[in-house]
Amino acid sequence: MTESILSSHQADPANRARLRWRSRRGLLENDIILTRFLDAYETELTDEEVDALTRLLDLSDNALMDLVLARKEPEGEVDLPHVRALLQRLRIA
């Protein structure tokens, strides 16, 4: 196996479980949106999409909610094309 397969998100059940656990948020709205998104798309997320979601999960609950509800657009470290693409998917999920 190549290293990229071994280190991929989808190849490691522990990584998937960790991502789902991190998606549990203090704000119920975030929790519902992220849980529904993962229920629908978790098994098909690419490593780039997992990176984008991880970056979003590093934000505070209020900052994440503002992005998901399109009250604000990504800035700084989360203003990356793959983060914006995943955010669009979250917004329509």
pLDDT tens profile 69-81: 999 999 999 999 9
Q: In terms of pLDDT, which residue wins out, 4 or 30?
A: 30
Domain positions in the chain are: 12-90
| Residue-wise pLDDT tens digits, 49-61 | 999 999 999 999 9
How high is the pLDDT of residue 1?
A: 38
**Does residue 4 surpass a pLDDT of 50?**
no
d(CA 80, CA 37): 20
76 vs 5, more confident: 76
Token pair recorded at residue 8: 């991929």
Task: Give CA separation, 50 vs 4, 26, 71, 86, in Å.
Answer: 14, 21, 23, 9
Fold of the CATH domain 12-90: DNA polymerase; domain 1 (1.10.150)
> With contact defined as beta carbons under 8 Å apart, do 9 and 15 qualify?
yes
| Model pLDDT, residue 2 | 40
CA distance 41 to 34: 10
